[in-house]
Structure 1
Amino acid sequence: MEKSKLEMEFKDETGKKFTISIDDPREDLTEVEVRAAMDEIVNRNIFFTATGEIVAAEGARFITTTIEELAI
């Protein structure tokens, strides 16, 4: 079984990293769509960190994990 997630990384106003993870993102999600969503998050001030507002989108990545159950 494979599990996937999308991690979107931002910087807040103090320069600290802030990561949003989404489990099981749509498989056909494009870089353009992810960038647009991240820009929207920054522009609308949707999330705040303990140290301030998110001010920049830094990067994103898909993470895929393979899980193999053992019969014991």
Structure 2
Amino acid sequence: MKIQRKGGESMATTNTKVVRLSFATEGGKTFSITIPTPREDLNQAEVLAVMNTIVSSNVFLTTSGALTGIRDIKVIGTVTDDLFDPPQA
């Protein structure tokens, strides 16, 4: 998306989303996995099922030990306004 700035210059705006899955570890720490561009129709039940499978499969071993449970699920949206585009050579 391009937005006109005062003086006729254009500014690019970018919207991005990620889903961050946070797990508890044996050492009492948090281990997170960030996945870019999640589906718009993502729901809590689906994500919890995947996270429970990750924990029970024991596929990740962190510096703080194995994953022991689910801590948090967040869908994070970011809007970036690019105020300067360097001249093209």
Q: So what's the TM-score if we normalise by structure 2? A: 0.75
* 1:46 is aligned to 2:59: yes
Root-mean-square deviation (CA, aligned residues, Å) is: 1.2
| 5+ long unaligned stretches in structure 1 | none
Letter in 1 for 2:45: V
SS in structure 2 of the partner of residue 38 of structure 1: helix
What does residue range 1-72 of structure 1 map to in structure 2 within 5 Å? Answer: 1-71=14-84
State how far apart, in whole Å, the 2-side matches of 1:37 and 1:13 are: 19
Q: Percent identity?
A: 35
How far apart are 1:47 and its partner, in Å? 1.0
The 4+ residue runs of structure 1 with deviation greater than 3 A are: none
Instruction: State the aligned residue count.
Output: 72
Bigger relative contact order (CA 8 A; separation at least 6): 1
